[in-house]
Chains A and B, each alone.
Chain A
Amino acid sequence: MWPHLRTGLIVLHLIAIILKALPAPEGAMSKRDWAHPTVQAEFRQWSRNLQSIGIDTSPTELEHSLWDIAQSVTTVRNSTLKPFRLYYRYVGGDQNWRLFVAPHMFPSKLEIDVQIDDEWTPVYRVHQPDQWMEMLIENGRFRPAIFRYSWSRYKRQYNRFAVYMSTQASKDFPTATQIRFRWWRYPLPSHTEILNDQDIMGSYHTPLTYPLSTTNGETP
Chain B
Amino acid sequence: MTIWRRWVRFWSEKESGFSIAMVRVSIGLTLLYTCLSPYLSGVWQAIWVDEVHGGIRHYKKVPWLLDILGGATPSAVETMLWMGIVASIGLIVGFAGRLSALVGMIVMNTISWHNPLATGGHDDLIANALWLLVFVQNDCTLSVSCKVRTGRWQSNTQVYSIVRRLLLTQLIIMYASTGLQKVSAHWVPFGEMDAIWYILQQPTWSWRDHQFLAPWFWVTQLGTLGTWMFEVWAPMMWILMLWESRTDTPWYAPTWGQRFVMRCKPRTIFACIGIPMHLGILFTMDVGPFSYAALSYYWTLYAPIRIMESAETQYDQSALSTP
Contacts and interface: CB of A to CB of B under 8 A. Distances in A.
Contacts, number: 194
B261 interface: no
B185 A141 contact: no
A97 B174 contact: yes
A7 B7 contact: yes
Contacts of B191: 45, 49
B198 A103 contact: yes
B214 interface: yes
B8 A144 contact: no
Given A7-B11, A140-B287, A42 B184 contact: yes
Given A97-B178, A136-B46, A195-B214, A188 B201 contact: yes
Interface in A1-46: 3-4, 6-7, 10, 13-14, 17-18, 21-23, 42, 45-46
Interface of A: 3-4, 6-7, 10, 13-14, 17-18, 21-23, 42, 45-46, 49, 89-105, 107-109, 126-127, 135-136, 138-148, 154, 157, 160-161, 164, 188-192, 194-195
12 contacts: A17-B173, A45-B191, A46-B185, A92-B126, A92-B127, A92-B132, A98-B181, A99-B121, A100-B195, A103-B194, A126-B203, A143-B286
A155 B174 CA distance: 31
Contact of A164 (B4, B46, B132, B173): B46
Range for the number of chain B residues in contact with chain A: 35 or more
Given A154-B117, A190-B194, A194-B214, A18 B202 contact: no
Contacts of A141: 37-38, 43, 47, 118, 288
B180 A23 contact: yes
A189 B211 contact: yes
B180 to A, nearest CB: 5
Contact of A96 (B11, B121, B183, B211): B121
B182 A92 contact: no
B56 A10 contact: no
B187 A191 contact: no
B23 to A, nearest CB: 14
A45 B198 CA distance: 16
A116 B177 CA distance: 50
B258 interface: no
A129 B121 CA distance: 28
A188 B166 CA distance: 40
Interface of B: 4, 7-8, 11-12, 37-38, 41-43, 46-47, 51, 55-58, 105, 108-109, 112-113, 115, 117-121, 124, 126-132, 162, 166, 169-170, 173-174, 176-178, 180-187, 190-191, 194-195, 197-199, 201-206, 208-209, 211, 213-215, 217, 220, 286-290, 312, 315
CB-CB nearest 10 A-B residue pairs? A92-B131, A102-B184, A92-B127, A103-B198, A45-B185, A97-B177, A191-B217, A21-B177, A194-B214, A140-B288
B68 to A, nearest CB: 14
B303 to A, nearest CB: 18
A91 B129 CA distance: 11
B38 A100 contact: no
Contacts of A142: 43, 46-47, 118
B202 A103 contact: yes
Given A102-B186, A103-B199, 8 more contacts: A3-B312, A14-B166, A97-B173, A97-B174, A142-B43, A143-B205, A144-B117, A157-B117
A95 B173 contact: yes
A79 to B, nearest CB: 20
B35 to A, nearest CB: 10
Contacts of B198: 103-105, 188
Max chain A Cβ within 10 angstroms of own Cβ: one of B55, B166, B173, B180: B173
B43 A136 contact: yes
A92 B105 contact: yes
Max chain B Cβ within 10 angstroms of own Cβ: one of A17, A161, A195: A17
Contacts of A23: 177, 180-181
A108 B202 CA distance: 9
Nearest to B199: A103
Given A139-B38, A164-B51, A188-B201, A3 B315 contact: yes
A166 to B, nearest CB: 11
Contacts of B46: 136, 142, 164
A49 B187 CA distance: 13
